[in-house]
Structure 1
Amino acid sequence: MTRPRSLRLRLFLAGLASVVVALAAAMAGLSLLFERHAERQLARELAAVTEGLAAQLDLASPGGAWVLAAPPGDPRYDRPLSGFYWQVSRLEDAAPVLQSRSLWDATLALPPAAGTEGALVQLVDPGGALLLAVRRDVIMPARLGDERLVILAARDAAELAEAGAGFRRDLLPFLTVIAALLLAAFATQLAVGLAPLGAVRQRLAAIRSGREARLGEAGFPTEILPLARELDELLAHRERDITAARARAGDLAHGLKTPIQVLLAEAGRLEIAGQVEAAAAVGDAAEAMRRHVERELARARRAGRAPGERAEPRRVAERLVTVLSRTAVGARLRWEVGGPPGAAAAIHEDDLAEALGALMENAARFAASAVRVEVWEEGAAVAVAVMDDGPGLAATDHAEALRRGGRLDEAGPGTGLGLPIAREIVEGAGGSLRLGPTVPGAMTVALVLPVAIIRVAGSGRVDGTLTPDAGRASAVAGQDRRTQQGTPP
């Protein structure tokens, strides 16, 4: 049998079992106390009967038979086999001298005398039923012959058992109500006791979403504080590992940059020497190495993504334009960057530069005269579109373009890793990559990223939620329409 995995369910079941055991013990204990009380009460009543019989004993005549001046007034002593009995016997021969009419023609056996004076003892009635009796030994006065007598008063034990059963029946509804109240109190205790774990979960979710950097200690009870501290230490250790990983990735990039540049220079010398095929082979290999290094560096950065990362797409695009406009391919193009400068996306700036740079390099290779980068806000997201006036891409080719290594233009340079790497980076940050339009003469690639959330220090409040800019969206829509018509962006 599988144990319940829920801590709340486990604790509730344990509490339920505890309540059931406790109330069962309470039922047994109260029943026992009631039975002891009822036995003491019965012993007092039977002792009072024996005392009354002793007071009413007399001789019909000197040396004659014993009689009762006034028998007990309870009519059950006169009804045969009613369960209410009394008997007076001589101590010497245990022969009955008087007895209740309820005994009919039977007699009760005398219990032992030692230790039973005034205490309840068990006897058997004429019908074989169990009786509870009290024995009293008396010595009659001199005028009655100083005779020693034994007086017994007995009742059916079933009466006491029925009283105990009735008590338990009456007690059961009250115990049920108590059980319900205890379970309700226990459920409330569970909710209050486990609430700090819910707070831990909420703060961990805030850390994952970037709204918080640490759990902190505020509001946690003493028992949760060690867990919160250990988790914060783990987060700090992870951030140190991320920093070290980024540093190692940067060292790797710088370490490989020189050998790749050497290979590219060697390819240039081979081409000048007339070895075109060898130069192309070396150049392609060097370019492939560069692309693979970039891909692995991007993957390392994505794996080390820390909470609270933010980047301003427009500023990143402007920095990339400065670099690309100085290259042989980019120098012939007109570069434009538009959009709100304050719009921030929840992505590391290096990751955004990697993804956006791959798109802008692709656009530069295929653009006829101009490339435009437009930034706008889409509710809780920031969109960055790269538009060029190149030949465009049919919808049927989108899947191939996004496939790692997929190339639609085998004649040109490239490894087919640009779009797939950009998509991996963006999806790793929780965003998406969109291709379009689908008509020849235009190409638009858009990155849609979650908006960056700014933590307000010391207040626990989150600011920075971006709202749509209808004017900006309309402007970009117009740019898309112009691109579809084949005009430069």
Structure 2
Amino acid sequence: MYSLNKRLTLSLAGSLVLFFIFQTIMIDREVEKLSEQNLISRLEHDQKSLLAALKWQPPAKPELHQNYIPDIYMRAFSGHYYELTVAGHTFRSRSLWDEKLPQTKAPLVRDVAGPNDQLLLILSQNFKIHNKPVTIRIAEDISHLDAMTNTFQGSLLVLAAIAVLILLILQSLIIQYGLKPLLRIRQQLGLLERGEIHQITTPAPKEIMPLVAEINHLITLMNKRLQRSRHALGDLAHTLKTPLSVIQQIVERQESTADNIQLQNQLQQIEQRITRELARARTAGQSPGGQWLKPYDDLHELLNVFKKLFPDKTITLAISKALKIEADREDMLEIFGNLLENACKWSDSTVHCQVELIHNKLLIKIEDDGAGIEPDAYQHLLSRGIRADESKPGHGLGLAIVNEIVNAYGGDIKLEPSPTLKGLQVRITLLQS
């Protein structure tokens, strides 16, 4: 599973970093180019000054008037040098002292070793005076320029890094703001899961509105199907109740034979099952599908039903009023209903139900004071259609149904001897988020 937030952040961050690397390289090159052009422009200006300082009327000797030459060329090893060659005469700047400029072939050469290990940029140009060639080679120390360029590059990298960091923070905030509708939808899905709402109502961007609409449509369809199933079960139980009452009256008027007594017991079990399903259908009709169980209220209501079905049994419940169970209401009622019904059938007089939350685990214990069963039969009883005693009424489906629901929730079910009531104890563990 990948994170949309992480994916967008990494993609945009990568784009920003690449952009700033490219931008930094281009700015660095442009600054270096502008610096060099400015330096060349200054050297060309000095060449023209030297050309203006040259006084020569052939056949007289050429002279270079120092008044036209900038003072920087007069100081020894100042970093500014020239050599002017005309008619076999070479004039060198005083700044060269006894040194000579290195010989170069190209008109412009940089990073040439000069006096005092200075790095020189040398510009050579040819001119003509009185149709005689004049070569002026002028040089400048660029060590300070390289140092300034390096300083600028360092500052540029720091500023670029700060800019990238600020933009990444802003980008993260923008992405979080952009994904807020999805977060609100996720929160509403949680409310929907707990049955606190029945549709997603939060405003959503037009890009994900079709998804929200499809989810709402699917929820509506599922609720309608669930309601139809529940109502059909309730209608079936209600339809069977009247004919069953007629059959009971007919049987009661017959002579009390062993077959009639057994038939009355079976009819009584059917009536209890129908009564229970009618009670569940009534409670199901009061709530939409997917609603979470309200343990304290719903289980007390369920216990009241069983107290009416088994008036000779003492049924107790230990549960905190503040307890919350993250599970479907109907699934939980199915679990508690089947287990309580089995416990009431098998108990001598007492059934106890305990529900508690321990370290994000829901623990359900239902125990009775009946005869119990052999440990070897525990796993066997969890199979569909298996009963511990064929003389007891029922179809052997209760524990199997409970086992299927518990497995669907990723939980665990165990049958064990009751430590207090000495009968059978069913222990169920369900993970809670």
Give 1:183 deviation, angstroms. 2.2
Aligned residues: 378
Amino acid at match of 1:246: L
Please list every run of 5 or more consecutive structure 1 residues that lacks an aligned counterpart in the other structure.
89-95, 110-120, 139-146, 218-223, 453-489
Q: Does 1:233 find its partner at 2:190? A: no
Of residues 175, 183, 190 in structure 1, which corresponds to 2:164? Answer: 183
Q: Does 1:41 find its partner at 2:24? A: no
Of residues 357, 369, 373 in structure 1, which corresponds to 2:337? Answer: 357
Give 1:309 deviation, angstroms. 2.4
Amino acid at match of 2:84: W
Amino acid at match of 2:37: R
Q: Which moved more, 1:365-374 or 1:202-211?
A: 202-211
Residues 239 and 137 of structure 1: CA distance in aligned 2, closer, same or farther (over 3 Å): same
1:331-346 to 2 correspondences below 5 Å: 333-336=313-316, 345-346=325-326
Q: Does 1:172 find its partner at 2:167? A: no
Q: Which residue of 1 aligns with 2:202?
A: 216
Q: Which residue of 1 aligns with 2:402?
A: 422
Of residues 368, 393, 412 in structure 1, which corresponds to 2:348? Answer: 368
Residues 321 and 155 of structure 1: CA distance in aligned 2, closer, same or farther (over 3 Å): same
Q: Does 1:155 find its partner at 2:138? A: yes
Q: Which residue of 2 aligns with 1:247?
A: 227
Mapped to 2, the partners of 1:433 and 1:387 lie a distance apart of 13
Give 1:370 deviation, angstroms. 3.3
Q: Does 1:309 find its partner at 2:263? A: no
SS in 1 for 2:159: helix
**Is contact 1:134–1:154 with CA below 8 Å preserved after alignment?**
yes
Q: Does 1:133 find its partner at 2:118? A: no
SS in 2 for 1:66: coil
Q: Which residue of 2 aligns with 1:400?
A: 380
Give 1:28 deviation, angstroms. 1.4
Of residues 322, 339, 342 in structure 1, which corresponds to 2:305? Answer: 322
Backbone CA RMSD of aligned residues: 5.3
TM-score, normalised via structure 1 length: 0.59
Mapped to 2, the partners of 1:192 and 1:225 lie a distance apart of 18
Give 1:58 deviation, angstroms. 4.7
SS in 2 for 1:392: coil
Q: Which residue of 1 aligns with 2:117?
A: none
Mapped to 1, the partners of 2:375 and 2:167 lie a distance apart of 62
Amino acid at match of 1:22: Q
SS in 1 for 2:152: helix
Amino acid at match of 1:46: Q
Mapped to 2, the partners of 1:37 and 1:27 lie a distance apart of 15
Mapped to 2, the partners of 1:99 and 1:382 lie a distance apart of 103
Mapped to 1, the partners of 2:186 and 2:413 lie a distance apart of 25
Residues 409 and 20 of structure 1: CA distance in aligned 2, closer, same or farther (over 3 Å): farther
Mapped to 2, the partners of 1:247 and 1:233 lie a distance apart of 21
Identity rate of aligned residues, in percent? 18
* 1:374-424 per-position Cα deviation (integer Å, ceiling 9, x unaligned): 556768777654332112245554433344555444554444432242344
Q: Which residue of 2 aligns with 1:6?
A: 7
Mapped to 2, the partners of 1:130 and 1:450 lie a distance apart of 78
Residues 39 and 258 of structure 1: CA distance in aligned 2, closer, same or farther (over 3 Å): same
* 1:43-79 per-position Cα deviation (integer Å, ceiling 9, x unaligned): 11211111122xxx255xxx7422316466847999x
Mapped to 1, the partners of 2:52 and 2:383 lie a distance apart of 109
Q: Which residue of 2 aligns with 1:142?
A: none
Residues 312 and 131 of structure 1: CA distance in aligned 2, closer, same or farther (over 3 Å): closer
SS in 1 for 2:218: helix
Residues 6 and 415 of structure 1: CA distance in aligned 2, closer, same or farther (over 3 Å): farther
Q: Which moved more, 1:6-15 or 1:228-237?
A: 228-237
Mapped to 2, the partners of 1:24 and 1:69 lie a distance apart of 44
Residues 85 and 378 of structure 1: CA distance in aligned 2, closer, same or farther (over 3 Å): closer
Mapped to 2, the partners of 1:77 and 1:339 lie a distance apart of 100
**Is contact 2:365–2:425 with CA below 8 Å preserved after alignment?**
yes
Amino acid at match of 1:250: R
**Is contact 1:373–1:386 with CA below 8 Å preserved after alignment?**
yes
**Is contact 2:347–2:369 with CA below 8 Å preserved after alignment?**
yes
Q: Which residue of 2 aligns with 1:122?
A: 107
**Is contact 1:381–1:451 with CA below 8 Å preserved after alignment?**
yes
TM-score, normalised via structure 2 length: 0.65
**Is contact 1:216–1:228 with CA below 8 Å preserved after alignment?**
no
**Is contact 2:181–2:205 with CA below 8 Å preserved after alignment?**
no
Q: Does 1:100 find its partner at 2:86? A: no
Q: Does 1:445 find its partner at 2:426? A: yes
Amino acid at match of 1:133: S
* 1:164-198 per-position Cα deviation (integer Å, ceiling 9, x unaligned): 65554333212221232122112212321222366
Please list every run of 5 or more consecutive structure 2 residues that lacks an aligned counterpart in the other structure.
113-119
**Is contact 1:200–1:215 with CA below 8 Å preserved after alignment?**
no
Amino acid at match of 1:67: P
**Is contact 2:226–2:289 with CA below 8 Å preserved after alignment?**
no
SS in 1 for 2:168: helix
Residues 396 and 191 of structure 1: CA distance in aligned 2, closer, same or farther (over 3 Å): farther
Give 1:23 deviation, angstroms. 0.8
**Is contact 2:313–2:349 with CA below 8 Å preserved after alignment?**
yes
Residues 132 and 309 of structure 1: CA distance in aligned 2, closer, same or farther (over 3 Å): same
Q: Does 1:67 find its partner at 2:62? A: yes
Mapped to 2, the partners of 1:345 and 1:165 lie a distance apart of 72
Mapped to 1, the partners of 2:319 and 2:418 lie a distance apart of 24
Residues 197 and 334 of structure 1: CA distance in aligned 2, closer, same or farther (over 3 Å): same
SS in 1 for 2:292: coil
Amino acid at match of 1:322: V
Amino acid at match of 1:85: E
* 1:335-384 per-position Cα deviation (integer Å, ceiling 9, x unaligned): 45565667554444433322211111211221123334455676877765
SS in 2 for 1:42: helix
SS in 2 for 1:225: coil
Q: Which moved more, 1:44-53 or 1:245-254?
A: 245-254
Mapped to 1, the partners of 2:392 and 2:292 lie a distance apart of 36
Q: Which residue of 2 aligns with 1:477?
A: none
Mapped to 2, the partners of 1:432 and 1:390 lie a distance apart of 23
